[in-house]
A and B are shown apart, each in its own frame.
Chain A
């Protein structure tokens, strides 16, 4: 049976939102850290 999109299930949606946020943080934080270091490297080069 297909999950009814209109049948709002608070528990499932809450877990989905937390998952997206946590995976997002795990990917964004190292990307930002590396970008900062690369910027610093460029400034030092110039």
Chain B
């Protein structure tokens, strides 16, 4: 137990070192790229081309293989950014600021994908592109927070002040996360409740569920890949004059 705690503590301390992170991410990126494309390809091709047609919605339901993973990662990215914001506020860890700065545009793009794919799916099934429904509105608020974080960061010339400011804004935006999750339970929404449940049986057929799980996993790997690449670019930008980077 003590050994596990110590190794976790060591790993946490190493995460704070930009040269260590730059080196390790450089080694792992090709493997993550391989697995992310493999899972994404299998999940989407299986889901879009080989899973059964829905008896009510027909083929348009296949948007689920992109919409659900995109919505899932868009919230997960914000959760990790909230943890990084706490670390940045308490320990002033430089890497936490780099993480928030790098992940915000990725989070914004996946939230945009969740919104646009939901809108394209809503048109033939609900008869409208958009409705001010609690789930849709709270997800739009999440997107606005991502954009606000990106904008706030670029308005600062000094990196340390920018890191502190975006950390505060990230923590403010975290209030929206449980609202997104519970919106379908708290309010009477047009958006359906969750189809995949961990505590009880899922309301989706297993033939449709398996490719969806693979696709979700693929999206998480792609987020990890793009996050690592964005962080490497940010480290390089900030540390271009440091001796370790010049000799790398």
Contacts and interface: CB of A to CB of B under 8 A. Distances in A.
A34 B229 contact: yes
A7 B212 CA distance: 22
Nearest to B50: A2
A3 to B, nearest CB: 5
B49 A3 contact: yes
Contact of B59 (A12, A14, A26, A33): A12
Given A3-B48, A23-B222, A34-B233, A15 B246 contact: no
Main secondary structure of the interface of A (DSSP, over half): helix
B38 interface: no
B240 interface: yes
Nearest to A12: B62
Interface size class of B (residues with CB under 8 A): 35 or more
A44 B109 CA distance: 34
Given A18-B116, A19-B66, A37 B59 contact: no
A40 B229 CA distance: 18
B120 A3 contact: no
B57 to A, nearest CB: 10
A14 B118 CA distance: 12
Interface of A: 1-3, 5, 7, 9, 11-12, 14-16, 18-19, 22-23, 25-27, 29-31, 33-34, 37-38, 40-41, 44-45
* 6 shortest interchain CB distances as A-B pairs: A30-B229, A26-B226, A33-B233, A30-B233, A30-B230, A37-B236
